[in-house]
Amino acid sequence: MKTRITELLGIEYPVVQGAMARIADGGLAGAVSEAGGLGIIACGGARPEWIREQVARARALTSKPIGINVMLMDPRASEVAELVCELGVEVVTTGAGSPANYMKMWKDAGVKVVPVVASSALAARMERLGADAVVAEGTEAGGHIGELTTMALVPSVAAAVSIPVIAAGGIVDGRGMLAAFALGAEGVQCGTRFLTVEECGVHEAWKEKVLKAKDSDTIVTGRGTGHPVRGLKNKFARECRKIEMAATSGEELEGMYAGSLARAVAGDVENGSVMAGQVAALVTERGTAAEVIANMVREAEALAGRSLGELAELNSRRARV
Ligand code: TUI
C-alpha cells in the first residue's frame, strides 16, 4: 500500500500507533514498526534515561523507522525535543500544544515532523513552519483532547493544508480507516486499539476495562482546567466531575489530577485516570500489533471496492468483510 504517508515515513502501511503516555514503550513501538506501521514511544512524563532505554529496546525489535512523541505540556519537553535529534529517531510527533519552538531544530536534524493538531488553524501554522504532515485528532480520542469531532476536523484540516493528513480519534478498524480516507486522510493513527494487544504492557486491569467498555463508558474530565482528558468512567472520573461542578477556579482542580495517571498505570483502575477513546466499546479482542494492522488494512481495502448500495446491503445484514 502506497500513500504520501508511507512514502514520507518509510513504512509499509499508513497506520501509526498513537503515543499513550506511560504506556507506549519501546516494546509496543518496536512491534508496531516491525509489523509495517509506525510505532511511537510516548515521552510524556518520562525521564531521559527511560527514553534512551526504550529507543534501544525498539531498535532491538526492528530495523524499520520508529517515532518519539513529545508531550508539550511536560516540564521536560525541551529536553525531550533535544533527545529526538541526539537519538536519531526518524519521526517526531507532538501533542497538547504548538511545537513551533522546536521545528527548526528538528528539520535541520532531518527528522520528519508530524504535529498532532485539533484545529485547521494550527494545522496551517504547522505547515508554514515546515511540518511534514499533521495528525488531525478528533475529540473521540482518549487522553488530552480538542473540541472537534474527527468527522468535522479531518475534512477541515485537509482543506487547510497541502501536506498529508493522518486522521486520529475514533478509528479502530478497516471501516474507520476507509471513512478517514473518504474524509481526506492519507493515513490513520490509533491509540485505544493498541491498548489491548499482546505487546502492550499496560496493566491487565486497564486492558480488561477497555475490553468490557460500552459506547457510553468514556467521560471527559478537566474541562474546567483547560486541559480536557477523555478516559473510562470510574470512581476517579465521578469525583472529578463532582468537584468540577463545584469548583470556582482551574487551580482548584489541578491538584486532583496529580498522580492520577500513575495510579491507573499501577493497576488502580478505580482511582486512577484510565485514558481511552470512545472506540473502547469497539475493542473486543486482544490480538497482536501485526494482526491489528493487517486486519485494518485488509478490511478497509475490501470495503473500498464496493458501491454505496453494496455497502448498505452489507450493513443491512450487519455483515463485516
Ligand atoms: O496530546 C494528546 N493526548 C494526550 S497527551 C497525554 S499526557 C497527559 N497526562 C496527564 C494528564 C493529561 C495529559 C494524554 N493524552 N493528543 C494530541 C492533541 N493535541 N490533542 C489535542 C491537542 C492540541 C490541543 C490544543 C494541540 C494543540 C492545541 O493548541 C495549541 C495552540 O497553541 O494552539
**Per-residue confidence band for 250, with pLDDT thresholds at 50, 70 and 90:** confident
Q: Whose CA is nearest to atom 4 of ligand 1?
A: 144
Dihedral of CA 32/220/187/114: which sign? negative
Nearest CA among 118, 55, 60 for reference residue 91:
55
Name the CATH superfamily housing domain 11-194+288-317: Aldolase class I (3.20.20.70)
Ligand 1 — pocket residues by CB below 6 A? 21, 44, 71, 95-98, 116-118, 122, 137, 143-146, 227, 229, 257, 261, 275
Distance CA 236, CA 24 (A): 22
Rounded to two decimals, the pTM is 0.97
Dihedral of CA 228/32/114/298: which sign? negative
**Per-residue confidence band for 46, with pLDDT thresholds at 50, 70 and 90:** very high
Average pLDDT over residues 67-78: 97
Strand-pairing partners, residue 105, are none
> What's the full length of the chain, in residues?
321
Distance CA 285, CA 288 (A): 10
Average pLDDT over residues 277-305: 98
**What digits encode the pLDDT tens for the residues 17-45?**
999 999 999 999 999 999 999 999 999 99
Atom of ligand 1 nearest to the CA of 122: 33
- Could you identify the residue written with the cell 513529545? 70
Nearest CA among 96, 4, 6, 12 for reference residue 289:
12
131: left (phi over 0), alpha (psi -120 to 50) or beta: beta
**Per-residue confidence band for 178, with pLDDT thresholds at 50, 70 and 90:** very high
pLDDT at 318 over 80: yes
Q: Whose CA is nearest to atom 3 of ligand 1?
A: 144
Average pLDDT over residues 118-143: 98
Dihedral angle over CA of 208, 196, 117, 111, nearest 10: 150
DSSP helix/strand/coil, 138: coil
**Per-residue confidence band for 249, with pLDDT thresholds at 50, 70 and 90:** confident
Cell readout for 302 is 475490501
Taking every pair of C-alpha atoms in the chain, what is the biggest distance, in angstroms? 55
Burial class (CB in 10 A: 0-12, 13-18, 19+), 48: middle
Amino acid residing at 35? A
**Per-residue confidence band for 302, with pLDDT thresholds at 50, 70 and 90:** very high
Distance CA 188, CA 5 (A): 9
- The CA angle 26-10-86, to the nearest 5 degrees, is 50
Ligand 1 mean position, distance from CA 317 (Å): 39
**What digits encode the pLDDT tens for the residues 85-105?**
999 999 999 999 999 999 999
pLDDT at 236 over 80: yes
pLDDT the model gives residue 251: 76
pLDDT the model gives residue 255: 80
pLDDT the model gives residue 254: 78
Type and span of the H or E element at 17: strand 15-17
**Per-residue confidence band for 167, with pLDDT thresholds at 50, 70 and 90:** very high
Q: Are the beta carbons of 56 and 88 closer than 8 angstroms?
A: no
pLDDT the model gives residue 256: 82
Dihedral of CA 262/56/70/170: which sign? negative
pLDDT the model gives residue 51: 98
Which of 69, 139, 144 most suits a substitution to test ligand 1, by most atoms within 8 Å of the C-beta? 144
pLDDT the model gives residue 224: 82
pLDDT the model gives residue 315: 97
The residue ranges of every structural domain in the chain are 11-194+288-317, 204-279
pLDDT the model gives residue 246: 87
Amino acid residing at 208? E
pLDDT the model gives residue 114: 98
> By percentage, how much of the chain surpasses pLDDT 70?
100
Kindly report the average pLDDT of the chain as a whole number: 96
The beta strand positions in 18-168, using DSSP E, are: 39-42, 66-71, 91-95, 112-117, 134-137, 143-144, 165-168
